[in-house]
Amino acid sequence: MSNTFGKIYKISTYGESHGKAIGVIIDGCPSGIEVNEKDIQKELDRRKPGQSKITTQRKEDDNIEILSGIFNGKTTGSPISLIIKNKDQKSSDYNHISTSFRPSHADFTYHKKYKNRDHRGGGRSSARETANWVAAGAISKKILHDLKIKIHAYVSKVGKLELNKTYNELDFDNTENNIVRCPDNKFAEKFISIIDDARKNRDTVGGVITCVIKGCPIGIGEPIFRKLHAELGMAMLSINAVKGFEYGSGFKGVEMFGSEHNDEFQIKSGKISTKSNNSGGIQGGISNGEDIYFNVAFKPVSTIMKDQDSIDSNNKNTIIKGKGRHDPCVVPRAVPIVESMASNVLVDLYLQSKK
Amino acid sequence: MSNTFGKIYKISTYGESHGKAIGVIIDGCPSGIEVNEKDIQKELDRRKPGQSKITTQRKEDDNIEILSGIFNGKTTGSPISLIIKNKDQKSSDYNHISTSFRPSHADFTYHKKYKNRDHRGGGRSSARETANWVAAGAISKKILHDLKIKIHAYVSKVGKLELNKTYNELDFDNTENNIVRCPDNKFAEKFISIIDDARKNRDTVGGVITCVIKGCPIGIGEPIFRKLHAELGMAMLSINAVKGFEYGSGFKGVEMFGSEHNDEFQIKSGKISTKSNNSGGIQGGISNGEDIYFNVAFKPVSTIMKDQDSIDSNNKNTIIKGKGRHDPCVVPRAVPIVESMASNVLVDLYLQSKK
Amino acid sequence: MSNTFGKIYKISTYGESHGKAIGVIIDGCPSGIEVNEKDIQKELDRRKPGQSKITTQRKEDDNIEILSGIFNGKTTGSPISLIIKNKDQKSSDYNHISTSFRPSHADFTYHKKYKNRDHRGGGRSSARETANWVAAGAISKKILHDLKIKIHAYVSKVGKLELNKTYNELDFDNTENNIVRCPDNKFAEKFISIIDDARKNRDTVGGVITCVIKGCPIGIGEPIFRKLHAELGMAMLSINAVKGFEYGSGFKGVEMFGSEHNDEFQIKSGKISTKSNNSGGIQGGISNGEDIYFNVAFKPVSTIMKDQDSIDSNNKNTIIKGKGRHDPCVVPRAVPIVESMASNVLVDLYLQSKK
Amino acid sequence: MSNTFGKIYKISTYGESHGKAIGVIIDGCPSGIEVNEKDIQKELDRRKPGQSKITTQRKEDDNIEILSGIFNGKTTGSPISLIIKNKDQKSSDYNHISTSFRPSHADFTYHKKYKNRDHRGGGRSSARETANWVAAGAISKKILHDLKIKIHAYVSKVGKLELNKTYNELDFDNTENNIVRCPDNKFAEKFISIIDDARKNRDTVGGVITCVIKGCPIGIGEPIFRKLHAELGMAMLSINAVKGFEYGSGFKGVEMFGSEHNDEFQIKSGKISTKSNNSGGIQGGISNGEDIYFNVAFKPVSTIMKDQDSIDSNNKNTIIKGKGRHDPCVVPRAVPIVESMASNVLVDLYLQSKK
């Protein structure tokens, strides 16, 4: 397996959904960064289950504990170990999948690849893992904060309904004011209603998260194989349920002519900038000082409360019954995950650019 | 910079567009693989400039030479060094950009990041680099061939026109029969005409490449941070001009309900398979034995034959004039690049899975 | 910092001497290996403080706890997280070094490099870290066990006294029968007495550990930059207090002529072997099937119970007083550390060779 | 295989002794460093064969050519590709080892590990590879030059004769004034005579190289797994024929008591320094500002002009006859190799410390 992300700001994670604990080691964090458990807890609380009617009703407090790497309230340059002990587990909810495979889950592929599979709560394949990423992101965000770089993610589409405003027309301060995390209140209400309808129908629905990075200095990203957008893409595609990534003009940019798409340069307020920003703030893999923005597509959650055809480990037909407490739509809780992974990528590439 | 791709089947590249040569070292290729220069040349010829009226008229033969790692016609396990000497260079075509920045190119960001920039032909940022990737891909394809894994890429969209068939309805043997590399002849003609119109209009246009991988065994891909689709996404987003990546149901999957999207399991011809394949052959980051398929979005080429506003390195306004010989659309020549990078990813993860 | 060792069997560690806990994540361990806490505890007990009169009198039970990666008594392929909570800490013993630097310790260099230094018990620089390596080694030893590879380390020199037998003349079963871990009882007694004298004299003394690996198959090690002996050397030189590494004929081999030193090949019992083994079982960086053997030099422990001249963080002269409970000689407790790191290296290179 | 060295200043090499060329890509070199072919050639000339009566009489000019990464005389931050074409090859000299194995060479282990082995001149296992390391070292030395760090290696022992002076008593300016590269003329003469006697006797002899690094700033090296001395050790143990590495007090330090060995701190000329330097300039893996020094043990060259018993690939007894043109002792030509690898390590860790 590969459980380490990043080259310089490296996060190494462990833990299964129903094991004793999950956790992350952050190696490569510079010394002297102020970090405390509250900073991290705040971000984890945005991701935690049970926070509203449109998320899973499972209750996990996800209390973070710092085991190493902080002294006198600041990082020491030593690895920072963060641990979240597991608590509200109903492993018996999962007995039915110990020998059979939930459709569109990782049960089957894990079984084939590793033979000895911890099926409880999905084991290692559970999205619970992303709590580790958010915890690491809470620390990388502190570094970005000192660099005046801000990351804003929000829900821009649920099911077939798409927010009809660009990020420039939105007030990001409003994102946390509703349970779906869309800064436009009207769309937020509609999104909530779509999700709630899916839930009532024992079904799930997909969505898109848009992420905007403001204040990124020129020069972040490596030009050939660690292009800023390629690293962001890889990070986003690592998140459970993600099916696509596009930045700047994205898939729509395909339809344009070069003369429309190109971002001409100008001098504005004494600084070089571009007149348009189809490049999404990245040229040749390197940040150019404009806003960075990208979209992440999430499929509908695979666990539904309906019967589904499946196969068991003896190659026999079986029916998978919907059980347990699950999210009808992943995007509201995925907003802090997207932000955190973007933050982890940025800090990693920022530190690389300092060599 | 980061000029190495892969962890086990590792490719390390070098070279500028108008330098003495470009080249690639492949480290980690197993011994005993039959490789000769013809195999590699064949793939390079699919990517080379000047192959048709809808590609750049620049003539580069891109002759590959093997410098090491092959003995008695087979790999030895030692690093394979491949070199392509540069020939048809008109560096004077680029004098105008030695101190000014082409819109939506990497000139500006390289200048800011590295100060000392080889501007000739775009230097290191030129898509000429991808010839190295194709050369490495020709060798990884040999490994896949022995494993009976096949990769088929083709052009599925140009500008606003999208091929209205799924990959199952296409005959991949037909892809190389037209200059745009679309296996559907009718659409091929239309795509060619759109590109040719853009060219005549001194403009450029974008496109989408679809890639299908057949015969991939179950178990390729790592479940947390080297998910098969995340690695494919990163590889594709590393290709010049790429703006987006989606696999399986992709961005359209967002609009579905879980009950529609889930791929139920079945036994068919004695083997476990899925009834649908919205997962795109990958579950939890690991191949499940079904076809893998994904889309890659390419923006319109940034070099257009029209005047554009820009800035020079003294922060003065300037006009960039369109010069040189360039592609009106990148997708026909990018088909072998997409295939090669998919092949490089697959072999790398295949070898990792063997540990 | 770099707190990860290995490329495929990767161990990532954290923890300070007087922090909440130390721990290690093992990523890349194959699935299906039987592992339980007792196996690991047994190895840790060989390293733990307070085990005899010639080790520190500090009492640390070093209880291992498995947090992840094991299911039904076997590894799952997922990262294995091991934690050892810290207990018997007298941090006040270290107040005197919060602003001054112990000679030949890492206090000064950490202070200069990281500014914010956890001085308690040496913080991250404490040899307590090596408990993590031994824990990881207990698991890699299980893998070697299945491959019938055996590692035997023992003390072969203390101060000026050197064991006058080669490893072939020793019975490794006897190593654990005395507190200094030398399989020759006579020398063991003498070594113990040298160490005890140093202790009584409030001083410390150095030593050499010899390590022998039997049963290593042909082909382990990479020929250019991950030569088996280079990896072993790096691993040993990572252990606190190590000043030198030699394998096979080592520094004495320098004095020989090629005609004496070369290991001629022969057929013996139907198998290719070498008549002599100055190569130490490694040729061109790759194991050749003969016994692997090497020596590791440990300096005298830097913490002595005597006054020493030093400087504080205000650049003022100061006297460092010997305090706390420390080892008069590191080698008895370092025997399992040497074995564990040898084991971690071997498994890592073994897994690499399987690609 | 693993043909890449370093994490940030990364060198990736290729090439066989009798192939078309050998070469190295340097990735991660900062932009703006002045580099030309003469700088590199000068270092290669120190390593090249045929330079005196005590080296091989093989003539290889080892002409370096820069293929990429330099523009207007300075590095651009892009990978620097260096190539040395092979010329004076008498591959027929090696026909006898195409199916049999030279004692203490890598023929046997390569054969077993890779099956398809390029036997000509030792193929990939030839010390010719180290020309790549010296070429990369010539560039890293330029970086160290700007940092005022100087590396001085010299021969300190040949066969049983050891130079009886410490490095402080030597004038390094004298090292290049004799063909054995020992700064003490009297010992140089004796060393030359020992080597020449071995040569006349169709035999070979071992030696030790001592290396001193002056001017290294405080803070280079990572404290746990990339300790400065562990990286130096790994680098040295990667050089062909190396059997041991020790730094500071080394193996002799074992015999000392802590009270003798510890390096007490003092203020001297307003700066913190240590009264003694048994630490060899490194404490806890990090440079402390004192001189760094270490010894590297080289075995006698394995190729001797005498008959030796061996085995062929059909497991039959055979006699290996001494043929070709070889070094009677490796140390004179290894001096620039030791310096170069030390330089490559230092620059890599220096760049890492800048994050």
DSSP string over C119-131 = -GGGGGGSGGGHH
For position B88, what pLDDT does the model report?
A: 64
In this structure, the number of other CB atoms found within 10 A of the CB of residue B291 comes to 17
In this predicted structure, the answer to whether residue A289 has a pLDDT above a threshold of 80 is yes
Smallest CA–CA distance from B81 into chain D, residue: D14
Yes or no: say if B273 and B290 are a contact pair by the CB < 8 Å rule. Answer: yes
d(CA B158, CA B208): 6
Smallest CA–CA distance from A79 into chain D, residue: D224
List helix spans (H) across chain C.
37-47, 107-114, 130-146, 185-200, 228-237, 250-253, 258-261, 331-353
Q: Residue B312, CB half-sphere, CA atoms under 13 Å: how many?
A: 11
CB-CB under 8 Å, C300 with D258: yes
For position D269, what pLDDT does the model report?
A: 87
Neighbour subunits, B (≥3 Cβ pairs < 8 A): A, C, D
User: pLDDT band at residue D99, thresholds of 50, 70 and 90?
Assistant: confident
Nearest chain D CA: its distance from A338 CA (Å)? 25
Mean pLDDT of chain D: 95
Put simply, whether C258 touches D (Cβ < 8 Å) is yes
Q: Nearest CB to C258: which of D208, D218, D300?
A: D300
For position C318, what pLDDT does the model report?
A: 93
In this predicted structure, the answer to whether residue C280 has a pLDDT above a threshold of 70 is yes
Tokens in use for A28? Answer: 């490569």
CB-CB under 8 Å, B257 with A205: yes
Three-state DSSP class for residue B59: coil
Yes or no: say if B135 and B84 are a contact pair by the CB < 8 Å rule. Answer: yes
In this predicted structure, the answer to whether residue D324 has a pLDDT above a threshold of 80 is no
For position A325, what pLDDT does the model report?
A: 77
Put simply, whether D159 touches B (Cβ < 8 Å) is no
Radius of gyration of chain B (CA): 21
Residues of C whose CB is below 8 A from B28: 355
Put simply, whether C238 touches B (Cβ < 8 Å) is no
**Which of B12, B349, B353, B355 is best to mutate for the C interface (most C CBs within 10 A)?**
B355
Smallest CA–CA distance from C68 into chain A, residue: A15
Mean pLDDT of chain A: 95
Put simply, whether D206 touches C (Cβ < 8 Å) is yes
Q: Give, in order, the Cα–Cα distances in Å from B201 to each of A259, B179, B205, B294.
A: 10, 20, 11, 31
Nearest chain D CA: its distance from C72 CA (Å)? 33
* pTM (2 d.p.): 0.97
d(CA D350, CA D287): 10
For position C24, what pLDDT does the model report?
A: 98
d(CA B28, CA C214): 28
Nearest chain D CA: its distance from C316 CA (Å)? 8
CB-CB under 8 Å, A109 with B283: yes
Yes or no: say if C300 and C204 are a contact pair by the CB < 8 Å rule. Answer: yes
User: pLDDT band at residue C355, thresholds of 50, 70 and 90?
Assistant: low
d(CA A77, CA A74): 9
Give pLDDT tens digits for A152-168: 999 999 999 999 999 99
Q: Write out residues 15-34 of D within 8 Å (CB-CB) of A.
A: 28, 30
For position C171, what pLDDT does the model report?
A: 98
Q: Nearest CB to C116: which of A4, A28, A32?
A: A32
Q: Write out residues 91-110 of C within 8 Å (CB-CB) of D.
A: 101, 103-106, 108-110
Mean pLDDT of chain B: 95
Smallest CA–CA distance from B348 into chain C, residue: C355
Put simply, whether B112 touches D (Cβ < 8 Å) is no
**Which of B113, B262, B308, B331 is best to mutate for the A interface (most A CBs within 10 A)?**
B262
CB-CB under 8 Å, C104 with D262: yes
Per-residue pLDDT of chain B (355 residues; tens, 9 = 90+): 799 999 999 999 999 999 999 999 999 999 999 999 999 999 999 998 888 888 888 777 899 999 999 999 999 999 999 999 998 677 777 787 888 999 999 999 999 999 999 999 899 999 999 999 999 999 999 999 999 999 999 999 999 999 999 999 999 999 999 999 999 999 999 999 999 999 999 999 999 999 999 999 999 999 999 999 999 999 999 999 999 999 999 999 999 999 999 999 999 888 999 999 999 999 999 999 999 999 999 999 999 999 999 998 888 999 998 877 789 999 999 999 999 999 999 999 999 998 6
Which has the closest alpha carbon to A135: A238, A23, A212, A235?
A: A23
d(CA B211, CA B214): 10
For position A96, what pLDDT does the model report?
A: 79
Put simply, whether C340 touches D (Cβ < 8 Å) is no
Counting residues of chain D whose pLDDT is more than 90, the rounded percentage is: 87
In this predicted structure, the answer to whether residue A224 has a pLDDT above a threshold of 80 is yes
In this predicted structure, the answer to whether residue C81 has a pLDDT above a threshold of 80 is yes
For position A355, what pLDDT does the model report?
A: 61
The gap from C-alpha D201 to its chain's centroid, in whole angstroms, comes to 26
In this predicted structure, the answer to whether residue A83 has a pLDDT above a threshold of 80 is yes
Ramachandran sector of residue C95 (left: φ over 0; alpha: ψ -120 to 50; beta: rest): alpha
Nearest chain A CA: its distance from D248 CA (Å)? 26
Smallest CA–CA distance from C298 into chain D, residue: D254
For position A92, what pLDDT does the model report?
A: 75
Give pLDDT tens digits for A12-64: 999 999 999 999 999 999 999 999 999 999 999 999 888 888 888 877 789 99
Contacts of D124 by beta carbon, 8 Å cutoff, 6+ apart? B68, B76, B78, C223, C224, D15, D16, D17, D110, D118
Put simply, whether B225 touches C (Cβ < 8 Å) is no
The domain that holds B186 is classified in CATH as 3.60.150.10
Full domain range(s) for residue C180: 4-353
Residues of D whose CB is below 8 A from C253: 206, 243-244, 297, 299-300
* ipTM of the prediction: 0.97
D249-260 mean pLDDT: 98
Q: Nearest CB to B272: which of A222, A245, A311?
A: A311
The torsion of the CA quartet C23, C25, C30, C33, rounded to 10 degrees, works out to 20
Q: Nearest CB to C227: which of D113, D206, D237?
A: D237
Amino acid making up residue B287: S
Give pLDDT tens digits for B36-60: 999 999 999 999 888 888 888 877 7
For position B63, what pLDDT does the model report?
A: 95
CB-CB under 8 Å, D205 with C257: yes
Give pLDDT tens digits for D19-35: 999 999 999 999 999 99
Q: Nearest CB to D16: which of B74, B75, B78?
A: B78
In this predicted structure, the answer to whether residue D88 has a pLDDT above a threshold of 70 is no
Contacts of B231 by beta carbon, 8 Å cutoff, 6+ apart? A234, B221, B345, B348, B349
Put simply, whether A45 touches C (Cβ < 8 Å) is no
C187-214 mean pLDDT: 97
- The values of phi and psi at residue A83, to 5°, are -130, 140
CB-CB under 8 Å, C10 with A4: yes
User: pLDDT band at residue C88, thresholds of 50, 70 and 90?
Assistant: low
Three-state DSSP class for residue A306: coil
Give pLDDT tens digits for D129-143: 999 999 999 999 999
d(CA D8, CA C196): 46
CB-CB under 8 Å, D1 with B79: yes
Yes or no: say if D6 and D26 are a contact pair by the CB < 8 Å rule. Answer: no
**Which of D261, D276, D290, D353 is best to mutate for the C interface (most C CBs within 10 A)?**
D261
Ramachandran sector of residue D90 (left: φ over 0; alpha: ψ -120 to 50; beta: rest): beta
Yes or no: say if A228 and A287 are a contact pair by the CB < 8 Å rule. Answer: yes
Neighbour subunits, A (≥3 Cβ pairs < 8 A): B, C, D
Mean pLDDT of chain C: 95
d(CA A118, CA C76): 7
Nearest chain C CA: its distance from D119 CA (Å)? 13
Counting residues of chain A whose pLDDT is more than 90, the rounded percentage is: 87
The structural domain count of chain D equals 1
Axis-axis angle for helices A331-353, A130-146 (nearest 10):
50
Nearest chain A CA: its distance from B130 CA (Å)? 10
Residues of D whose CB is below 8 A from A355: 8, 28, 30, 351-352, 354-355
Q: Nearest CB to A351: which of D28, D30, D355?
A: D355
CB-CB under 8 Å, A3 with C32: no
Axis-axis angle for helices C331-353, C228-237 (nearest 10):
140
In this predicted structure, the answer to whether residue D57 has a pLDDT above a threshold of 90 is no
Lowest mean pLDDT among C62-71, C88-97, C306-315, D2-11: C88-97
Residues of A whose CB is below 8 A from D353: none
Neighbour subunits, D (≥3 Cβ pairs < 8 A): A, B, C
Tokens in use for A244? Answer: 């696509």
Smallest CA–CA distance from D29 into chain A, residue: A355
Residues facing C258 on adjacent strands: none
For position A146, what pLDDT does the model report?
A: 95
The gap from C-alpha D30 to its chain's centroid, in whole angstroms, comes to 23
Smallest CA–CA distance from D79 into chain A, residue: A224
For position A88, what pLDDT does the model report?
A: 64
d(CA C171, CA C174): 6
d(CA C328, CA D257): 10
List helix spans (H) across B173-302.
185-200, 228-237, 250-253, 258-261
CB-CB under 8 Å, A67 with C115: no
C331-338 mean pLDDT: 98
Residues of D whose CB is below 8 A from C103: 262-265, 274
Whats the size of chain C, residue-wise? 355
Put simply, whether B38 touches C (Cβ < 8 Å) is no
D230-249 mean pLDDT: 98
